[in-house]
Amino acid sequence: MNAAAPTTPRVLLRTLREVLAAQMGAQARLDRVSQLVAQSMVAEVCSIYVLRTDNLLELSATIGLNANAVHNTVLAVGEGLVGTVARNASPLNLVDAPSHPSFAYRPETGEDPFKSFLGVPILRGGRPRGVIVVQNQTMRQYGEEDMEALETVAMVLAEMLAATEFMEMRAAHGGGQRPDLPASFSGDILAPGAALGVAVLHEPRVRVSKLIAENIDKEIARLDEAVDTMREAIDAIIRVEDPSLAGAPLDVLETYRMFAHDKGWLRRLREAVESGLTAEAAVERVQNETRAKMLRQRDRYLRERYSDLDDLANRLLRHLTGAASATSKLPNNMVLIARHMGPADLLDYDRSRIVALVLETGTASSHVAIVARALDIPTVAGIDDIEDQVEPGDVIIVDAEQGEVHIRPQADITRAFSAKMELSSERRARFAAARNLPPETADGTRISLMMNAGLLFDLPHLEETAADGIGLFRTELQFMVAQQFPRLGAQATLYKQVLDTAAPRTVTFRTLDLGGDKILPYGQVADEENPAMGWRALRIALDRPALLRYQIRAMLLAAAGTDLRIMFPMVAEVEEFRQARDLVDRQIEWHLRHGHEMPRSLSVGCMLEVPSLAWQLDALMPLVDFLSVGTNDLVQFLFAADRMNPRVADRYDFLSPAVLSFLSQIAEKANIHGVPLTVCGEAAGRPLEALAMIGVGVRTLSMPAASIAPVKLMVRGLHLGELEPFVGQLLEGGEHSVRPALQDYAEKSGILL
């Protein structure tokens, strides 16, 4: 192996400063950087690949490979060694690159003589913006100092590639569009609502100009001081008394405060400073690593933990640099735009000025989403590179009813949205007027409309909507927003608060539905090929019975002297229900043996989500006190279509004859056995789907709070005597969906949808 002269970030950065200060074009700057890196690292090749707007990695500068390959050689992310570095957002250090299984030879580059390979991702915001590579003909093992030096160059390149001239280069070769044109995007709805406002970028990027430390001890002291200041600021936010943040929103803020004391995170920051970086550069390096892990993480709840750490890094950078907070000088109708946001950052803003929130990443159970719903801020997430698409002051429409975001909208879109807002105002007025009216069909049949909930801040909606009760309380959400497993007392306290607040309405508690896409932040993640059909929900509870016993005990304690309804999820066969019911009976015995007051009444039921259970209904019905159909999982299992897979999630329609016939048979069996039946899920809250369910015999629906008023107005326009035979005829056909026929029926019948 060939020994090379040691390279340090400090030496290399000193040579790069001249390039950064010189007046030269984008291409000349990239060429000069690759030349200096090759010289400094004693490398025969230094190549810079830039990620274009069409998501291809283009060889944009090189020393050592064929010059004609520049701007002609492209690789997809994940293709070859360079594509692997970009996909994994992590370095790759190889002594014999051609022997690696991901090696992809490009004859036009002339790289066949080169054996050793060191590739480092150019990360900005945790996302790859390119890759820088050094190569040698000898089988050289690049050392830690080489890696550190190249990572320092990558940080500089990330800032360079964000400049206007480089953005134009990316767009010119990648087919990008001008940033001043209108653009529309679709995302995930985290909090419902709609708004038109002015774009405000949340915490515009803090640029770190000084990367190399002159005095490491001084930088560590600056870091420690900034961490202490940041913690004090977070404590101050939590100390402010705000009724809207009672319960779960406050819980997530407490969890967020715990992240600020994360020893592993603080250790990595100190190690980065000790390697020779300034405190700011250390925070940025660790932040990039955190973001890269977050973006690669499939588990949505671990992604949220990384998101909180990313938010803390932003706050720490502001304290270190003295950068002004984005919460000053804000318009009255601002739409906040952010890659990621923690709950504390959202609370930094004057909430009276926020009309909507748009995030690059986030889930409905994320900490910021929980707080946004508590504050009634329409929120849409899942829009890639959103901060790169928007300029401060752009007009932006956020339709968190449809999951759409329109940036710099054309006049016709603005007019259509304004008309929709006016119509929404009229609808809201009708909803308010119908609040105290019974959900009764025009020919006198009462339909029970229940509300779905999962946290304390959902409960005020019971009064607002005049719902008949809580048809589904998702108990797992308490576990997901906590930093550690909730103790018996904490569980019992929550359940008692729910029962007391809802009284005299009934509450149906669903036992823990974990697994699949719902993983505890402090739990172990099972590696499964198909987690939706794997070890989850009741299957976990039966394999770990202490978990279920603990939860049932908490429910029994909370429900002393009142009515308790317990429901098991993901029951696939009657025997599973028998085993779960046996656990309940044993806990009742323990309860009585220890002299605790019993609930006034106890009802135990199960969810029908797995189709196999539908063929055991005659055996199941005598054992259950009630039955609930869970539409979300049921449909994906019926059609073998993963609802998390965008290629097939929308391929099949809930309003297909297959689904409705299935529901019709279940409703008929429940009626024969005298077992109350509820349908709960997203579909139950959509007026047209609810109309179809009522048409096949369902009389109780449980849905999100925002859906109750629209469904109630729909119900009051129904003539059940006409609807049932009409829907019955539709089930006899073989159409993909009966949606068009139902929409036409509703329109002709004057039914509000």
Instruction: Report the pLDDT averaged over residues 622-631.
Output: 95
Q: What are the sequence ranges of the domains in the chain?
A: 9-174, 426-440+622-695+704-753
Q: How far are the Cα atoms of 284, 505, 666, 677 from residue 674, in angstroms, in the given order?
A: 63, 21, 12, 9
Task: Name which of 159-163, 244-248, 388-392, 394-398 the model is least confident about.
Answer: 244-248
- Name which residue leads in pLDDT, 289 or 414: 414
- Name which residue leads in pLDDT, 524 or 317: 317
Domains 9-174 and 426-440+622-695+704-753 share a fold: no
- Name which residue leads in pLDDT, 43 or 544: 43
- H helices of 179-244, where? 216-239
pLDDT value, residue 1: 40
- Name which residue leads in pLDDT, 143 or 373: 143
Decide: 525 and 299 in contact? Cβ < 8 Å: yes
Decide: 130 and 51 in contact? Cβ < 8 Å: yes
Fold of 426-440+622-695+704-753: TIM Barrel (3.20.20)
Nearest Cα to Cα of residue 692 among 736, 650, 728, 638: 728
Q: With a cut of 60, say whether residue 655 has pLDDT above it.
A: yes
Which amino acid is present at 498? V
Instruction: Report the pLDDT averaged over residues 67-86.
Output: 93
Q: How many CB atoms lie within 10 A of CB 334?
A: 23
- Name which residue leads in pLDDT, 348 or 242: 348
pLDDT value, residue 533: 73
Longest dimension (CA), the chain: 90
Q: With a cut of 90, say whether residue 431 has pLDDT above it.
A: no
Tokens matching residue 125: 């915001």
pLDDT value, residue 610: 92
Q: How many CB atoms lie within 10 A of CB 182?
A: 14
- In this structure, which CATH number among 2.60.40.420, 3.30.565.60, 3.20.20.140, 3.30.450.40 belongs to the domain 9-174? 3.30.450.40
Q: With a cut of 90, say whether residue 742 has pLDDT above it.
A: yes
Q: With a cut of 80, say whether residue 576 has pLDDT above it.
A: yes
Nearest Cα to Cα of residue 314 among 335, 289, 283, 292: 283
What are the contacts of 424-433 at 24+ separation with CB within 8 A? 424/194, 427/710, 430/713, 430/752, 431/709, 431/710, 431/712, 431/713, 432/709
Tokens matching residue 191: 């909090």
pLDDT value, residue 457: 67
Q: Percent of the chain scored above 90 by pLDDT?
A: 38
Instruction: Give CA–CA dist 60/76, Å, rounded.
Output: 14
Instruction: Give CA–CA dist 55/35, Å, rounded.
Output: 26
pLDDT value, residue 485: 75
One DSSP character per residue, 427-464 reads: HHHHHHHTTTS--B-TTS-B-EEEEEE-SGGGTHHHHH
pLDDT value, residue 176: 45
Q: With a cut of 50, say whether residue 177 has pLDDT above it.
A: no
Span between the terminal Cα atoms of the chain, in Å: 74
Q: In a 10 Å sphere around its CB, with 0-12 CB exposed, 13-18 middle and 19+ buried, how is residue 136 labelled?
A: buried
Categorize the per-residue pLDDT at 172 as very low, low, confident or very high, splitting at 50, 70 and 90: low
- Name which residue leads in pLDDT, 210 or 700: 700
Give helix then strand counts, H and E, for the chain: 27, 22
Q: With a cut of 60, say whether residue 516 has pLDDT above it.
A: no
Question: Tokens 């991702």 identify what position?
Answer: 121
Q: How many CB atoms lie within 10 A of CB 358?
A: 29
Q: How many CB atoms lie within 10 A of CB 728?
A: 15
Supply the residues annotated as catalytic: 367, 680
Task: Name which of 124-138, 209-223, 514-528, 684-698 the model is least confident about.
Answer: 514-528
Task: Name which of 130-139, 312-321, 638-647 the model is least confident about.
Answer: 638-647
Q: Percent of the chain scored above 70 by pLDDT?
A: 80
- CA torsion sign for 573, 576, 582, 584 is negative
Decide: 170 and 51 in contact? Cβ < 8 Å: yes
pLDDT in tens, 442-455: 999 999 999 988 87
DSSP strand pairing (448-453 vs 404-407): unpaired
Instruction: Give CA–CA dist 615/603, Å, rounded.
Output: 23
pLDDT value, residue 206: 63
Task: Name which of 117-131, 391-405, 639-653 the model is least confident about.
Answer: 639-653
Instruction: Give CA–CA dist 222/45, Å, rounded.
Output: 38
- Name which residue leads in pLDDT, 207 or 684: 684
Task: Name which of 314-328, 403-417, 465-479 the model is least confident about.
Answer: 314-328
Q: With a cut of 60, say whether residue 496 has pLDDT above it.
A: yes
Which amino acid is present at 373? R
pLDDT in tens, 214-257: 788 898 999 888 888 888 877 776 665 554 544 445 555 565 56
Task: Name which of 238-252, 364-378, 636-650 the model is least confident about.
Answer: 238-252
For the entire predicted model, the pTM comes to 0.57
- Name which residue leads in pLDDT, 435 or 596: 596
Instruction: Give CA–CA dist 120/12, Å, rounded.
Output: 15
DSSP strand pairing (45-51 vs 127-136): antiparallel
Instruction: Report the pLDDT averaged over residues 312-326.
Output: 72
Instruction: Give CA–CA dist 725/723, Å, rounded.
Output: 6
Query: Residue by residue, what is the 3-state secondary structure of 605-653?
Result: EEEECCHHHHHHHHHHHHHCCEEEEEHHHHHHHHHCCCCCCCCCCCCCC
Q: With a cut of 90, say whether residue 530 has pLDDT above it.
A: no
Nearest Cα to Cα of residue 193 among 359, 420, 365: 420
Q: With a cut of 90, say whether residue 667 has pLDDT above it.
A: yes
Instruction: Give CA–CA dist 82/70, Å, rounded.
Output: 15
Task: Name which of 165-169, 372-376, 527-531, 535-539 the model is least confident about.
Answer: 165-169
SS3 425: helix
pLDDT value, residue 167: 57
Categorize the per-residue pLDDT at 301 as very low, low, confident or very high, splitting at 50, 70 and 90: very low
Instruction: Report the pLDDT averaged over residues 137-162.
Output: 83
Nearest Cα to Cα of residue 122 among 66, 79, 178, 60: 60
Cα 701 to chain center, whole Å? 27
pLDDT value, residue 478: 73
Nearest Cα to Cα of residue 196 among 489, 400, 46, 371: 400
What is the pLDDT of the chain when averaged over all its residues?
Answer: 82
Q: With a cut of 60, say whether residue 326 has pLDDT above it.
A: no
Task: Name which of 34-48, 156-170, 189-203, 584-598 the model is least confident about.
Answer: 156-170
Instruction: Report the pLDDT averaged over residues 612-641.
Output: 90
Instruction: Give CA–CA dist 576/537, Å, rounded.
Output: 12
Task: Name which of 366-370, 388-392, 638-642, 662-666 the model is least confident about.
Answer: 366-370
